[in-house]
Each structure stands twice: as C-alpha cells, then as structure tokens.
Amino acid sequence: MKKLVLPIVFFILSGCYYDSEEALYGKPGSGTCDTTVSKFSTQVKPILQSNCYVCHSNTSASSSGAGIQLQDYANVKVYVDNGKLVSSIEHTSNFPMPKGGGTLSACDISIIKAWITKGALND
Ligand code: HEC
C-alpha cells in the first residue's frame, strides 16, 4: 500500500502545477513590458550597464570592447545614428551583441527601440 501512495501524491502535485503562458509571462499587451517611459538614464543605460559595460564602459572599452564606448550618452548616440546599436542587439549585423553571450531579452530590445523611436533623447 505504501508503494502506491508516493506515485499518487506525485501525480496530484504535478497536476496542480499551473503553467499557462499567461501566468508565467503575463498577458500579451497587459503592460508587463512597459516601453511607454523609455528614457536613457532610467531604462536604456541600466540595460547597457548590466549587459555591455563589461566590455564597453569608458574604462573597459580599450581592452575588451574594440574601443567602442557605450557609457556616455554622446557615445551611445553615435551607434544609434549609424544603426549599429540596433543591428547588434537584434543580431542582424556581423557583430551580434552582447558578444559571446546570448541575446538581450525581447523586452530590453523593445525598450531600447522605443527610446530610439522617440528621438533617442538624453533624457
Ligand atoms: C565580451 C565583450 C563584449 C560585450 C559583453 C559586448 N560587446 Fe559589443 N563589441 C565587443 C567587441 C570586441 C566588438 C568589436 C567587434 C567584434 O570583435 O565582434 C564589439 C562591437 C560592438 C558594436 C559595433 C558593431 C559594428 O557593427 O561595428 C556595437 C554597436 C556593440 N558592440 C554594442 C554592444 C552592446 C549594445 C552590448 C550589450 C548588449 C555589447 N556590445 C556587449 C565586445 C563586447
């Protein structure tokens, strides 16, 4: 009898795991990825900071980032204007970024693109 209890308990528990897409990722369009307030200082820069500054900060760029600095607004704007920021994070260029480490989340990419669409301001 004891041998039967464990599989039954397991069956019940696994049946209770609620894994609908909505529960895990939020409803599509429900605002879980908020791009309405995409600002350089509060949204874009933190994304670059956590994913890119290991190679592209003002200090790391010369050693590991091919001299490309993405820390200050003026430097980032250069790569916005020549299209290389977006092509690199969307992996449509020859230099997919972050180099050697996957892709930014879809939400992070949308936030950066929304900021660019709004004029890529130093806000
Ligand atoms: C591990 C180091 C490293 C990380 C992390 C990294 N990069 Fe780079 N990045 C490089 C190097 C090195 C190059 C020069 C091209 C090459 O060798 O791939 C480069 C080139 C670039 C370029 C120029 C591409 C071109 O077309 O000329 C851009 C834009 C760029 N990176 C953006 C980013 C962004 C945005 C992130 C974060 C999402 C990032 N990088 C993360 C090392 C890195």
Whether residue 103 is predicted with pLDDT greater than 90 in this model: the reply is: yes
Residues with CB under 6 A from ligand 1: 48, 51-52, 54-56, 64-66, 68, 70, 79, 84-85, 88-89, 93, 95, 97-101, 104
Whether residue 117 is predicted with pLDDT greater than 80 in this model: the reply is: yes
Ligand 1 atom nearest the C-alpha of 94 is 26
Q: Into how many domains does the chain fold?
A: 1
Residues 6+ apart with CB under 8 A from 36: 114
Q: Is residue 19 part of a domain?
A: no
Q: Is residue 8 part of a domain?
A: no
The pLDDT of residue 93 is 95
Q: Is residue 39 part of a domain?
A: yes
Q: Is residue 9 part of a domain?
A: no
Confidence of residue 120 (pLDDT cuts 50, 70, 90): very high
Identify residue 117 by its one-letter amino acid code.
T
* Mean of pLDDT values over 92-96: 96
Q: Is residue 52 part of a domain?
A: yes
Higher pLDDT, 92 or 31: 92
Ligand 1 atom nearest the C-alpha of 84 is 29
Confidence of residue 81 (pLDDT cuts 50, 70, 90): very high
Ligand 1 atom nearest the C-alpha of 85 is 29
User: What are the counts of helices (DSSP H) followed by strands (DSSP E) for the chain?
Assistant: 8, 0
Q: Is residue 21 part of a domain?
A: no
Q: Is residue 53 part of a domain?
A: yes
* Enclosing domain of residue 40: 26-117
C-alpha angle 109-114-120 in degrees, rounded to nearest 5: 110
Q: Is residue 5 part of a domain?
A: no
Whether residue 24 is predicted with pLDDT greater than 80 in this model: the reply is: no
